[in-house]
Amino acid sequence: MRLLIMGPQGVGKGTQAAQLSEHYSIPAISTGDIFRYNLKNKTELGKEAGAYIEKGELVPDELTNRIVEDRLAKDDAKNGWILDGYPRNASQVEALDTILAKLGTPLDAVVALDAERGILLERMKKRAQIEGRSDDTPDVIAKRLDVYEKETAPLLKAYEERGVLVTVNGVGDISEIAHSIFDKLDAKTA
């Protein structure tokens, strides 16, 4: 199964991607984790990406597209994957379509998690305290949520028109949310 998991920052994409990964025995691929790894290890990519991330800006599409294509071509992703944090804009949707066509691997579904902005702000504030993430300051969080609403949320309509969108409330018990996703995916792909 090849899945995208989408939603605003703080909605629980990473948590649910891990649940999906375990349930379907496919890797969860987070562009955020890839960038954080490179930042921590001070790679050239990390230095380049860090300048954007620290300002609450998104890493340029060209750089992100190359990383995603390389990762999806790895052996562990041959039987499926969950992609978290990509695509974030219309240009990246086009790039992903091209990548998937080149790999001969169609997209099965897009899981969209949603929650109210106030809940997201509280979750991210808590995450910043627990994980000590320097990229989760109140100003950066608010800016990222605004960018999501402007650039990424409209992509859900495009995926809905393609008939691959599954929408799930991202608030509640982790296990209950996961089972709601499994049920909706099973019904869609049956």
Catalytic residues: 13, 88, 127, 133, 144
Are the C-beta atoms of residues 49 and 59 closer than 8 Å to each other?
yes
Cα(111)–Cα(85) distance, rounded to whole angstroms? 12
Cα(132)–Cα(106) distance, rounded to whole angstroms? 37
CA distances from 35 to 24, 144, 163 (A): 25, 16, 31
Which residues on neighbouring strands pair with residue 84, listed in sequence order?
5, 30
Give counts: helices (H), strands (E), the chain. 9, 5
Cα(113)–Cα(9) distance, rounded to whole angstroms? 10
**CA proximity to 166, closest of 117, 107, 122, 98:** 107
**CA proximity to 14, closest of 38, 39, 31, 37:** 31
